[in-house]
Every structure is written in C-alpha cells, then in structure tokens.
Structure 1
Amino acid sequence: MDLLLPYDALVLLSFGGPESAEEVMPFLRRVTAGRGIPDDRLEAVAHHYHLMGGRSPINDQNRALLDALHAELRRRGIAVPLLWGNRNSEPFLVDTLREAHEHGMRRVLVLTTSAYASYSSCRQYREDIAEAVATLADEGRTIVADKIRQYATHPSFARTNARLVTDAVRAAGQPDDALLRVAFVTHSIPVGMDDTSGPGDGEGNLYWHQHDELSHVILDEAGITLDRNLTGSLVFCSRSGPPSQPWLEPDVNDYLEGIAKDGVTDVVVAPIGFISDHMEVRYDLDVEAAETAERLGLRMTRVPTVGVDPEFVSGLVDLTEERAAEAREEPVDHPAWPGEAMPSTCRPGCCPNLRVAKSAACGTD
C-alpha cells in the first residue's frame, strides 16, 4: 500500500521570494497588501534584496528541499507526485493546485515551510490554502487540501537543531562558559499576535513558548554532550510595523550589545525560528548582526538552519505518513519533543487573524 494514500500529491507550500531585481518591489507589495505601507518604506526593505543581487535565496532552498524530499520518499517506496507552490511569488499555490487538478489530482497533502504556531506562521498559510481552493471551486474545479501538523515540537526538528548547535559551540573554540553565550533567533511578531497564538481555548503565547522551550532543550542537550554549563537567550530579528506597535524583544543586535557589556567574548547565533537560510537569516544575521558583533569585538559563530539535513527531512516525511494515516482513520502515534504535538486540523480560534476575518482551511472554524 502507498503510505500516502488517500493523497494524490504532496505540495510544498512556502513564503516565496523574488528571483530578480525587477521582481523585488512587486513581491514586497504582495507581501504587505492591505496594510497601507508606502513604497518608500518598502524600498528600504528592497535594499536588502538588492544587496543579494535582487534574488532571494528561498526559492533555491525550496528546490533543494524538494530534491531531498523526493529522495527520501523514493527511498521509502512512496511514488506520490511532489509539487511546489508559493504564497507570494511564482509558482503561486493556486496555479500549482489548478495544474494538479488538470492532471486528475483531487486530494493533496500540504507541507509548509513554517514550523511554529502563530497567525503569520500557520493560519496565514491556511488562509492561502482556503483562498486557492475557493478560486478553483469558482472555476468548477473541486480539490481538497489537508496539511501536516506544525512541526516545531516534532523530535526530528529538535534533535537536528540540538546537533547543529552542539557542533557550532564546539567549533567556536571558547572553553570558558562564562565568556560564551548562545543566541536563539527567530522572527519577531507583534505582541498581540503572540498573545493569541495557539488554540482559542488555550493560554496564548504559544509562539514564544515553543521557541523558549526548544532553546532550553537545546542548551541542555548540548551541555550534556559537551560537558558544559551553557547559557543562552531567545532573541528576535526582522521587526517591522510602526514604532508604536509592540513586537517581541529583545532584538538580536540589542542582545549582542548587552552581552558585550557583560564581558562576553563569543556568541553562537542559532536561527531556530527558520528552516532555511532565507533573507531574514542571510541579511539580518549574516550582515547586520555580524557587523554588530564585529563592532563590539564579539566572535560570532552562526549555526546552520536545518535546511536539507537528512534527519530533519526524514522527520518531515514521517509527518506526511502520519497525516495520511489520520486521513485513513488509522490509529496514529504523535511523537513530540519538547512539548505537545500540535494537531493537523487546527482547533477553533487558533492563531486568529486580528485585522480581518478570513476563511482558513485545515481547521475546525
């Protein structure tokens, strides 16, 4: 039996990014549509892309992930087609699903390139799935899309990150624990978005909590492996929005300023909030944070993202098999470490859209 039945295809859904200088501003306008952000502010962000030749690294990384997923699926004897759609750049999700329908596919499984619970990292993807499915329905095309659960709490994600941080601490070459810190970096989000992250009947702040819990687990695992007493903090990057709106803090650069004043000489920067080295990593960390560290006299070691690490990719395929078994109504184990497994079908009120009510797929509301 094909382990991904009843699905006709597996769809990788990503944020997307420009592939040329001419695509940068249209891409940024799509990303910020409906927020009233003027072009002059977008131009400041566009500068980051132009420093990289006008090309975001994210699409090439998606291509690499597709290749890695394809290899792992074939290794397991799973012959399901593997498709790719983006939210904000070609190939757009609606076009991918339309083509899938034209080839006779009627039920697909979606794997997103975002691991955590929040509006921007989960529900917004679900809104885009719902919009694409509705657009096709208006064209007379019926297609069903399910998704795997968010995987920030899947053991493969934690184990891979812990191993990468352990290797980076070892490579940093600073034997004195008092002189070394580990900065666990993720994308900042508005405080209100974090307050409402997680199910509607939950306590909120699940986005922050998942990162915080993972960072502590990684410190413990690396410390045990290296026989060290490591210290670290959760910090944030890529803040946007008006200054009057509170976002999660501290910013990674402010954190570096603080530890330098405390006499720390070495910092290991671990981007656990991202699965690949896209713009927030390549610019915010490899350019801005690196410049800050150099100015402060800090030796900075940047940890790789999980990317196409075989253990991480194998875990993603485990999650596709898990979701397919759920769809077949078979008994399913939901391994989780640290924390609890998130459901593949989100509960009512989960990670709400605080600006406008929109339909979202793969949920019960």
Structure 2
Amino acid sequence: MNVLLMAYGTPYRRSEIEAYYTDIRRGRPPTKELLEELEERYELIGRSPLNEITYAQAVRLEAALNATLPLFAQPLGSSPGARVRGPARVYHGTKHWHPFIKEAVQAMAEDGVKRAVGIVAAPHYSSRSIAEYQEKVEQALEELGRPFEMRYVEDYYDHPGYVQAIATRVGEQLWRLADPEQALFLFTAHSIPERAAQDGRYQGQIRTTAELVAQRLGLRNWDTAWQSAGRTPEPWIGPDINERLEQAAGQGYKEVVVTAVGFPSDHLEVYYDLDYEAHNTARRLGLRLLRTRSLNADPDYIEVLRDVVSRRWAEFR
C-alpha cells in the first residue's frame, strides 16, 4: 500500500516567509504591508508546528497500516537485515512548502509506486482546499507521464471515529465551565470565497460535523463560525469567529467553547486566529473563551486516517 498524506505546509524560518507567501499567492509576491503582517503573526505565536505534526502523522499512519496489513506482502528475495519494511509506505507532501506535493510525487515515482491513495489532513471537501491538492497531484503525475494510478479520499467529515475524537476533546472542556447548559459551543473552519462555496457542500459538511458532535454530547447551544478569511476584496463566507463572539455577548452568553473542526493540526491559523485574536476579542467582550485541543497526531485521529485510507485502497482490488 502506498499513501500520499498532504497538508498545507509552513515555513521553518523567518527568511522563508516571503517565498512561502508568494507561493500561496500563486507566484505574486506580497506587498510590503502584507509581508510584515504575516511576519508579525509568526512572531506573536512563536513558530508553527505544522510540518512536524504532519511528519508525525505520516510516520504513525505508516506504522498503523503496517500493524494491520499482512506483514509479508511479497516473498523476501534475500535477508532484509535488521529491519523489514512493511507492506505500507506513507509519503508526505505539502501544498505551499517543502516537501512540496510535486516533490513527493516524484519520490513515489522513483520508488516504483504503481498505485497509491491520496489524502489531505482536512476532513471537509471544498474546491479551495481538497480539490486544489488533487490538482497539484494530477499536474505532477502528468508531467511525469502518469507513472502510477492515484485515488483520493475526498472527505471524512462524518466518520464515526472522527466525530468521536472531536467529541472527546469538546467533552474535556465541559468540567471547566461554570454552567455547560448556558455556554455556547462554536465549531470553526477556514472561510473560503463565496463564489467557491455556492453549492453549499463545504458549509453543509462543517455543519454536519458540528451537529453530530453536539448530538453525541447533548449540547444545547451550538453554532458554526469561520476564520482565516483571505485578504482579498471579494466576499468570504461568514460570520467570522470574532463577529460571532460579538453576537454571543449580545445574546447574553458568558462562556464560549471553540473547536476548530476544519483544522486537525495546530498551526498559525489556530494559534493566531483563535488563541490570540479571538481570545483578545472575548476578553474585550467579557467572555470566557476555551479552545479544545487539536487532533494533531494522536492515536484516535491516526486510526481514522488508517480506516479511510484502507477502505479507499481496497477499491483497487
């Protein structure tokens, strides 16, 4: 089994931020003001751990797959030495930084991969997220002459294991609340332009995830909100998390629990948008804001990835 695990990517050093931002902007360098703004955000959070988390996810997913697949998929031609490679291999590539998706596909081709499953570490489908990752894979395959066949996991927003993993983390916050019955539970995801969300698929998947978690925990007051809207003049879907906090204060709420269901991993947009900006908004409004911990490379999330990847791989047969 061969798997390509994809994530957004993040720069390692301050000197890499401009090139990273230029790649996000499809080759258009950012203005001085935009670059300084992004550099300031990185300074405020310290450094994004996204690359390390994605690598850990890949390593643990490979281990989980090899623990459940037949150990000896093919006869050994000679003594393998101290380490026997299992039948599963997980590669990882990122959308906007090294190792780029193109680099990962190249490595797969050089290793003689003939079939593979591609999955993005994001549970919900949109034309601005999952579809763009797939386009990068297809472009890389085309440039290499289609050396192997790729099938994709498009979403897993309602997977029972994923819903339970989110519910577990929301449940951890219940005992911290003065009155859970009177608290508001907000589930957030990355905003996208309204023109890319006209079919409602993305918003519907986010809301379904939130509803399933709320049902599992018996939450009375819950809603969805959005974060990380781009710096473009076109309208993006909302309400923004800060706007929703303003509404919550006006509705009489005193405590709010925020869960970033659209972001399995901690990174800049979780640390800055929620832990810094949203917390400052809540403090100004007199709200107590709690954020649930992310899935990262925890075993329950890795099991979800293992299950959906295995099911997609089985379709090759």
The question of a shared fold, defined as TM-score above 0.5 by the shorter chain, is answered with: yes
Which one is further off, 141-150 or 294-303? Answer: 141-150
Query: In the aligned structure 2, how far is the partner of 1:56 from the partner of 1:281?
Result: 9
The Cα of 1:172 is off from its aligned counterpart by 2.5
1:185 alignment partner, one of 181, 188, 200: 188
How far off is 1:323 after superposition?
A: 1.0
Partners of 1:183 and 1:268 within 8 A in 2 = yes
Matches for 1:228-239 after TM superposition, within 5 Å:
230-239=220-229
Q: Distance in 2 between matches of 1:176 and 1:63?
A: 36
Deviation at 1:34, TM superposition (A): 5.5
Contact 1:235 1:249 in 2 (8 A): yes
Residue in 2 that maps onto 1:158: 163
Number of aligned residue pairs: 301
SS at match of 2:248: helix
Match of 1:212 among 199, 207, 217: 207
Q: Is the 8 A contact 1:12 1:83 kept in 2?
A: yes
Question: Are 1:16 and 2:9 matched, yes or no?
Answer: yes
Report matched runs for 1:147-296 at 5 Å: 147-168=152-173, 170-175=174-179, 177-178=181-182, 180-195=183-198, 204-223=199-218, 230-243=220-233, 245-296=234-285
Aligned residue identity for 2:285: L
Tell me how far apart the structure 2 counterparts of residues 30 and 119 of structure 1 sit (CA, whole Å).
18
Conservation of the 8 A alpha-carbon contact between 1:172 and 1:268: no
Q: Match of 1:315, SS?
A: helix
Q: Is the alpha carbon distance of 1:39 and 1:115 closer, same or farther for their aligned partners in structure 2, counting shifts above 3 Å?
A: farther
| Cα shift at 1:65 | 1.0
- Rounded to whole Å, the distance in 2 between the matches of 1:135 and 1:52 is 38
Asked if 1 retains the 8 angstrom alpha-carbon contact of 2:157 and 2:205, the reply is yes
With normalisation by structure 2, the TM-score equals 0.89
Residue 74, structure 1, aligned to residue 66, structure 2: yes
Partner of 1:40: 33
Q: Give 1:36 shift.
A: 7.7
Task: Give, as a single letter, the amino acid of the residue that structure 2 aligns with 1:120.
Answer: R
DSSP-derived class of the 2:64 partner: helix
Contact 1:149 1:319 in 2 (8 A): no
Name the Cα RMSD after superposition. Answer: 1.9
Structure 2 vs 1, CA of residues 171 and 308 (structure 1 numbering), >3 Å: closer, same or farther? farther
Residues in 1 aligned to 2:116 and 2:131: alpha-carbon distance in whole angstroms: 18
Cα separation, partners in 2 of 1:219 and 1:77, compared to 1, 3 Å:
same
Contact 2:54 2:297 in 1 (8 A): no
Q: For residue 172 of structure 1, give the secondary structure of its aligned residue in structure 2.
A: coil
Contact 1:191 1:247 in 2 (8 A): yes
Rounded Cα–Cα distance in structure 2 between residues aligned with 1:153 and 1:276: 18
SS of residue matched to 1:286: helix
Q: Give 5+ residue unaligned stretches, structure 1.
A: 196-203, 224-228, 329-365
User: In the alignment, residue 57 of structure 1 is paired with which amino acid?
Assistant: P
Tell me which amino acid in the other structure corresponds to 1:94. Answer: K
Q: TM-score, normalised by structure 1?
A: 0.77
1:37 shift after superposition? 5.3
For residue 219 of structure 1, what is the amino acid of its counterpart? A
Counterpart CA distance in 1 for 2:231 and 2:307 is 37
SS across alignment from 2:128: helix
Equivalent residues of 1:194, 1:207 under 8 A apart: yes
Q: Identity of counterpart residues, as a percentage?
A: 29
